[in-house]
Amino acid sequence: MAEIRFNHVVKRFGNVTAVDDLYLEIRQGELLTLLGPSGCGKTTALRLSIRKQIRKIQQELGITTVFVTHDQEEAMSISDRVAVMRTAQLVQVDTPLKIYEEPRSAFVAGFVGRTTLKRGKVVSSDPQWTRLDIGGMLLTARTRERLSPGQPVWVSVRPQHVRYVAASTDGTGAMPEAGSSEGPAVLRGVVDYVEPLGAVVRGEMKTEKAGHFLFEIADPQSNAVPVAGAPATSSSTTATRTFATRCAAPLE
């Protein structure tokens, strides 16, 4: 009886395939060694199967556990809380969901998951909306912290929070312009590339003033999917995050 099974496992990091169609069964009570030269995929394969067992044992025995890793997916999948470190300092301790959805700095936003990070400055802010200038493009974000006009900020926009629409309409025939006080910003540009990945489509659009923004379309069979080179209109949702810059470091 197999205790651990790799069922045609594939793991990629960008364009690099770390594990390619691995099928392997480890029998109950067996000690099996993965042997191979550096870079062949053995460590990646082991970490993919062992993390579920680590979490299961930890929960069954109630063991207080500290797990150390550089793999964001690994940390997010097995942890009750995640402590993110940077240059010898602890920068945020929170649940995996809060680390992803409510990062406290641009560094955490960029380190955990995919996002578009832009430098900008505050145009105006009220209890509901904050208007931002990103390279001459106005963008509106939900107010989450008190910011002052002219204050430099980092802006984080997750790809799944950019909604591609085939036509400029919100049901009444028009969408609010970027930076309007009516709600989330509208990004207008051209689709730079599209990556069909089965259940999800990833891509990037280029705006005239603010550069590139990542986007992600779930359930492509039910939602409009653009082609490279096509004009793009995307609505950036209220999940857009802003972070006040505190120094000249690349990501505060």
Long-range contacts for 77-85 (Cβ within 8 Å, ≥24 apart)? 77/51, 78/51, 78/52, 78/54, 84/108, 84/111, 84/112
Q: Which of 24-33, 177-186, 191-200 has the lowest mean pLDDT?
A: 177-186
Structure tokens at 106: 């641009």
What pLDDT was estimated at residue 235? 65
Task: Find the helix or strand (DSSP H, E) in which 242 lies.
Answer: strand 241-244
pLDDT band at 173 (very low <50, low <70, confident <90, very high): very low
DSSP state for residue 160 in the 8-state scheme: G
**DSSP helix/strand/coil, 167:** coil
The set of residues, in sequence order, having a beta carbon less than 8 Å from that of 184 and lying 6+ positions away, is: 140, 176, 235, 236, 237, 238, 240
What pLDDT was estimated at residue 97? 93
Q: Where are the domains of the chain?
A: 2-65, 67-102, 115-244
What pLDDT was estimated at residue 201? 92
The pLDDT of residue 170 is above 70: no
For residues 94 and 135, is the Cβ–Cβ distance under 8 A?
no
- Please tell us whether the domain made up of 115-244 is placed in CATH 1.10.760.10: no
Report the share of the chain in percent with pLDDT over 90: 19
pLDDT band at 3 (very low <50, low <70, confident <90, very high): confident
For residues 87 and 94, is the Cβ–Cβ distance under 8 A?
no
Average pLDDT of every residue of the chain: 81
pLDDT band at 169 (very low <50, low <70, confident <90, very high): very low
Residue found by looking up tokens 């030269």 in the block: 37
The pLDDT of residue 72 is above 80: yes
Calpha distance 63→67 (Å, rounded) = 12
pLDDT per residue as tens digits for the range 209-244:
889 999 998 888 888 888 888 887 776 655 567 766
CB burial readout 71-89, b (16+ within 10 A) else e? ebebbbebbeebebeeeee
CA 103 and chain centroid, separation = 11
What pLDDT was estimated at residue 249? 34
What pLDDT was estimated at residue 189? 85
pLDDT per residue as tens digits for the range 136-155:
888 888 787 888 899 999 88
Structure tokens at 157: 């926009």
pLDDT per residue as tens digits for the range 19-70:
888 888 888 888 877 877 788 887 888 777 888 888 888 899 988 888 888 8
